[in-house]
């Protein structure tokens, strides 16, 4: 069973994003504290914990961009990538429909060097709607960021 719960536990959030299983997929130009970039007290941002069979599967950051659009930043532990990604996404959409029924679109940025995230985004029905060239630093190399979007 998949569930989604809001969290204000910044210790948990930091531990997820800086986990050795997640950190390699985070860009090089961030510090080791994601909450410096996405502070929990900001009224348009909130953190969610996806739970799979009672176990935390990572962390989702949702940023409300306007009245109908949210942006997703996700950090899933390796054990929950693949088939669970779609189930977690469906649970997220249900959560957003229940808690924020005016939201109509969800978007996320995926670096061109993260092939697994590109495959996952396409598998859950997201489409590339734009590209920001050379705007993601990984291993001292610039990569394109692809903007994916989907109606929810």
Binned at pLDDT 50, 70 and 90, residue 3 comes out as: very high
- What would the pLDDT profile of 45-77 be if each residue is shown by its tens digit? 889 999 999 999 999 999 999 999 999 999 999
Is residue 137's pLDDT more than 70? yes
The percent of residues above 70 in pLDDT, for the chain, comes to: 87
Residue 19 has a pLDDT of: 85
- Average pLDDT on 24-52 reads 69
Is residue 120's pLDDT more than 70? yes
CATH tag, 2-151: 3.40.630.30
Residue pair 146/114 in contact (Cβ under 8 Å)? The answer is: no
Domain ranges, ordered by start, for the chain = 2-151
Beta pairing partners, 83: none
Q: Which two tokens stand for residue 23?
A: 């950190």
Please give the model's pTM, rounded to 2 decimal places. Answer: 0.86
Cα–Cα–Cα angle for 71, 145, 50, rounded to 5 degrees: 40
Cα–Cα–Cα angle for 41, 44, 49, rounded to 5 degrees: 75
Binned at pLDDT 50, 70 and 90, residue 17 comes out as: confident
Single out the residue of 63, 134, 125 nearest to residue 148, CA to CA.
Answer: 125
97 contacts: CB under 8 Å, gap ≥ 6: 103, 152
């Amino acid at each position: 069973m998949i569930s989604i719960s809001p969290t204000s536990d910044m210790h948990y959030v930091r531990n997820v994003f800086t986990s050795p299983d997640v950190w390699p997929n985070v860009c090089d130009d961030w510090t080791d504290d994601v909450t410096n970039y996405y502070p929990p007290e900001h009224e348009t941002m909130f953190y969610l914990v996806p739970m799979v069979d009672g176990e935390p599967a990572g962390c989702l950051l949702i940023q409300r961009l306007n009245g109908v659009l949210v942006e997703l930043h996700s950090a899933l532990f390796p054990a929950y990538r693949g088939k669970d990604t779609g189930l977690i996404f469906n649970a997220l959409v249900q959560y957003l429909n229940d808690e924020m029924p005016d939201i109509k679109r969800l978007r996320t940025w995926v670096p061109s060097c993260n092939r697994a995230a590109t495959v996952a985004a396409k598998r859950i029905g997201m489409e590339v709607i734009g590209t920001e060239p050379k705007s993601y630093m990984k291993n001292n190399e610039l990569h394109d960021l692809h903007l994916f979007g989907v109606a929810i």
